[in-house]
Structure formats: structure tokens, C-alpha cells
Chain A
């Protein structure tokens, strides 16, 4: 965005370098949150890999990617309403509901499976759309509206799966939770995964490929669309967005639908990975709360207007890597929640340091 804003300045050669420097610092500030989270993740993950007794292996990477995927998608889901200064407390419930649906539908012939997957994705998007309708047409605060709908979705999930169970097709379950080579081999693609051009990518875990695909195919186009820009604008100032003639209501509907879609994809993967559905209320709650933490660690402001789902994905990776490190260092399982909480508090309190730089005390108030 900074490019377009600064483009006219290029006409004046003398100021060009100065402006370019300005653009760089603007760009740096814009992405500081994500870069910070990325640095934190890299440090933590390198530390984890270096201290791992078996060293770096593809198997560990696959296992880590599998554990990250669902939380990453739920966090990306949470990001969209947060960008509008809202909050979606139903992401965990939507994930659970779609997981329960998947445990019923994703089995049988290839056509059945394909239809089942489409139904799951549609179910997630529908849940999000319902949230959007309650928020837009009911004019109820997002946090409360989604608190209520999350209860409804959990109820539906409990009807579908009163006890944990179900089944998804085994090949698919195995393929999405392994690396690219195995994926191709399972479905007989690219000479059973032996094609020469595929070899450089063969080690990449499928979940990471899926994450990259989702970001490239859904998230990036969304942020560049009018809807996406409107979502950011609503977060900065809803009144200003309205006065600029932006389609506020449609953008809100789109944002919540997208959140439902992401959360549903997370649930679908969780069902594929665990090969079952489980309407676990505490688990859904934990995913929702962790998603908020991941969003904040990923540099998205809870006040709306700035941030990105990519940051939240990295935030989710940071959260998960912290638990990986616990495993390596034999931190007593009993102490893990304490450390998780302390790390979260420390991470968000660092943001408090910026108060020291404020020249005008009034700026600290919203």
C-alpha cells in the first residue's frame, strides 16, 4: 500500500531518495509485527532443532507441521474479524463442528470423498456467514454474537458426535499428514512421486504446502480486493469507511464468512489427521483462546486496522514451537501451562515499551 501512496513523489528527483527512505521505514513499521514474530519463531525453532536429540529430520518437520496446521488456520480465521476490531469467539466451535461433519462424510468412493470435502468447506463458510448475518443485520457486537453462535455450533457438533468416533478414508488421512512424496505416491501422481522435478520438494510436509496454497489462493487475493481493503478500513475507522462509500455490510459478511471458511478448513484437517470427530467443548475453547494469542503475537492489533493472517499463522507456529521446546527439555508437564502463560504475558507486555516513546500522554488512550 505504501507504494501507491508514495508513487507521485517519484516525479521530483531531488526528494526521491528521501522519500524512498521514508517508504522503507513505513514499510518496516507496517511489517514490524510480522517480522518480530518471524524472528521469534526462527530463534525458537532453531533452538528446538539444535537441541533435538535426533537432529533435524524430515519426520520431525512433518510431525511439527501436522501439529501446527489446525491452530494456524483457526488463528488466520480469528484474524479477519480482529482486523475489523471485532472478535470471533466461535472459531473453535466451527472447527469442531466441521471436524464432526468430516468424520461422517469424508469416506467411501472418491466422489463421495470429494463431495464430503466440499460439504465440509461449505459448512464452515455457512457458519461464518450466519455469524456475519447476526452481526450485520442483528447489529449485535461480534464478541457476544459469536459467543452465542459458538454455543449453537457446539450443540450441533454434539448432536453429530455425542461420543468421539467416526472415520475418514485412510489413504487421504495418511497422505495429508505426510510429505509431498508420500502424497504423490499414495494417489499415484507424478510417477508415484518419483518424478525428477518433484525431488527438490519431496521432503516438504503436505500441511505446509496446504498452508501456502490457502494463503496464496484465498488470503492474498482477499486483501487486494475491495472487500479486503474495506475490512482494514472498517478496523481503522468504521465511520470513515462508511463516509468513503465502502460496502461496509458486505465486507463484514465476507469477513465472517472467510473466518468460518478458514476455521472449517482447520477442522477438516484435524478430522483427517486424527481420523475421527470429537465434539470436545474444552478443546474448542482452547483453540479459540489460543487463536487470540496467536493473532496478537503475529502483530495484529486487537483494535483493528493493522495486521495480517500471515502474521497470525506465524504466531500459531510460535505458540506451538514453545510446546515443542517443552518436550525437548523435559519441562514437567505440570509446569508447561505456567510457562506458556508467562511467555504470552511477556510477549504482549513488550508492546508496553512503546509507551515510553510517546510524546503526548493522550495518545495512550483509544
Chain B
């Protein structure tokens, strides 16, 4: 997007675009996490499981659910909005998918996400309710619907074979199928953002919606479609997660919203919209996933995890995520 050639910074002899800087730093931080984690395991166990491809692939497999959520969320954040309905959109999709079963399980799950996203889009675009509050309300509504649907218990229905295959299977005993799904979503998002008018419109609205509207973009429709895409991504993640754990359960999506926002922001996407690259989000997800796995290898308590988590986000953003000084 707004590639400012004259604003490139020289770093280690490399010329870095401002949009590339977060990506480069995040990659560097991923390396640092791997280094620290490996040092720890070498010291305590005398082995380096973190560097084994098998282990890394397994981590990426678990991370692909977060990755798919973050991909959808990034689109919404680029608009300058946010989607807080992710947790229960994801859970609802998982529950409906397992309840429907059969060949229609996966389309039903994604469809649920799509519908929730469209309602979000209608509220945000056409009713002009701030996305923060409308998606929050949708989250409560979906939670209410699902609690009423299941009676508050974990549903007894199981994930279909195809859902389980997509979530846990290894292609050629090596590449996790879930990773391939994440890859497909990633390619789609990159294509949307860089090769379609929809993508350009998303960036334009994120920068200044009024200008986008005046240049002839049907901004309401773009917002609607973007929220629908985000909902569908959350739905897909829910379907896969249900496949991974063979069933849906209450609150399965709660652990995905804040890490997804963190991943998008660590990846250099401006939380106010209009700026950011998908590659950054990808690296951000990998960073969060590896950080989590290193912390669990270190058997860090929840308290320590939370503190480290917060410190990492702040320090990363202090390095490259700082806003401009107000100068009038």
C-alpha cells in the first residue's frame, strides 16, 4: 500500500520499507524466542526439541486455528473497526457444524460465521453503530443462542470425519492438513488485499472513509463484505477446532480473540486501520504460538505467562508500533 520509498530506513545494510520494519523485527523476535527456548531445553534436558521440524510443524498445526481467526480479524482491523464477536462466532460455528453433521457440517459451520459477520456488517455499516459495541452485543447474542441450544452443556454431537481429517491429519505423514487450510486462507487474504478492488477499498476506508466514499466506493457494502469474511474465517476456525478436539464445547473460542488481536498488531497492522501487511500478521501468529509453546516448555505458571505476554506486546510495539507525536 502506501509504500513511501523516500522513507525507507537503513538497517544492517538492508533498505527497509516502513511497512516491512515490523515484519523484520517480528521475525527477529521469533528467532530470539527459539534461541532462548533452545538454550533452556539444552540446559535442562540436553536436547533441542524446539528445532525439530516435527515439533515446529505440530506447533504450527495448533497455531493454524489462531492464524485463520487472525486473518479474518486483520481485514476488519484494516477497515479501522474491530470484531469482538469472534469467540462465540467460532463456538457457534463449531456447535452447529457438529450438530448438523454429515456432508453439510463444514458449510453449515462456515455459513453460521458468514451470517453472524453479515449481521455485524449491517449494524456497523448501515446502522453506524460503533463496531466495538455492536460486535460485543452479537457476541452476547450468539452466546445466548448457543447456551439455549445446548442447555449449557457441551453438546454430545461429534465432529465429522472430514472435520477431524482437516484438523489433525498429516499429508504424507509430515505436513498437517490444518496448516494447508491456513495457507489457503492466507493466499486468499493476500489475493483479496493486493489484487482486488475490495482489498484496495478496505485500505482506502481504513485511511479515510469519507474520501473513499467520495471517490465512488460503496463503503457500506465493503464494510458488510469485510465483516462477513471475518465471520466466515472465525467459523472456519471453529469447524477446524471442533475437528481437532472431536467435539464442540462451551467457551472454546474465548482463548482466541485477544491473541488474534495481539498477533495482528504485533505484525505491524495499525489498530486504527488503513495500514498493514498480511505477512506481518502471519509472523505475528507464529510469534504468539512459539511464545506460548516456549512458556509451556518452561512450565511457566499462568501468572508468569500473563505478565510475559503483556511485556512482550508492549516492548514489541515500543520498538516499532509507536504513533506519531501530535504536532498540530
Contact = CB atoms under 8 A, between A and B. Distances in A.
Given A344-B140, A348-B137, A352-B129, A152 B306 contact: yes
13 contacts: A138-B314, A147-B261, A151-B309, A154-B306, A155-B303, A158-B306, A239-B326, A242-B328, A293-B133, A338-B145, A338-B147, A344-B136, A352-B128
Contact of B152 (A149, A282, A334, A361): A334
Nearest to B325: A139
Interface string B248-264: 00000010001001100
A141 interface: yes
A87 B272 contact: no
Interface string A155-172: 111110010000000000
Contact of A349 (B127, B272, B311, B326): B127
B307 interface: yes
Contacts of B128: 351-352, 355, 364
B130 interface: yes
A364 B309 CA distance: 38
A337 B323 contact: no
Given A147-B261, A155-B306, A348 B134 contact: yes
Given A355-B128, A365-B213, A143 B140 contact: no
B53 interface: no
A361 B321 CA distance: 34
Interface in A232-263: 238-239, 242-243, 248
Given A141-B271, A147-B262, A341-B138, A292 B148 contact: no
Contacts, number: 169
A151 B132 contact: no
Enumerate the 4 nearest inter-chain pairs by beta-carbon distance, A residue then B residue, closest first: A338-B144, A341-B140, A352-B127, A155-B306
B172 interface: no
Contacts of A154: 306
A334 B148 contact: yes
Interface residues of B, number: 59
Interface in B306-328: 306-311, 313-314, 317-318, 321-328
Interface in B223-273: 254, 258, 261-262, 265, 271-272
B144 A149 contact: no
Interface of A: 87, 134, 138-141, 143-145, 147-152, 154-159, 162, 238-239, 242-243, 248, 282, 289, 292-293, 296, 302-303, 332-342, 344-345, 348-349, 351-352, 355, 361-362, 364-366
Nearest to B151: A334
A149 B133 contact: no
Nearest to A162: B303
Nearest to B132: A302
Contact of B129 (A238, A340, A351): A351
Interface string B115-156: 000000001001111101110111111111101100110000
A303 B313 CA distance: 25
Best-buried of A87, A282, A296, A342 by chain B (most CB within 10 Å): A296
A293 B322 CA distance: 28
Given A148-B314, A242-B328, A341-B140, A141 B272 contact: yes
A355 B129 CA distance: 11
Contacts of B209: 365-366
B136 A155 contact: no
Contacts of A87: 132
B28 interface: no
B173 interface: no
B102 interface: no
Contacts of B151: 334
B170 interface: no
A355 B127 contact: yes
Interface in B200-216: 209-210, 213-214
Given A242-B326, A335-B148, 7 more contacts: A140-B321, A144-B262, A144-B265, A151-B313, A332-B148, A341-B141, A362-B213
B130 A345 contact: no
B310 A150 contact: yes
Contacts of A292: 132-133, 136
A288 to B, nearest CB: 10
A159 B303 contact: yes
Contacts of B130: 296, 302-303, 348
Contacts of A341: 137-144
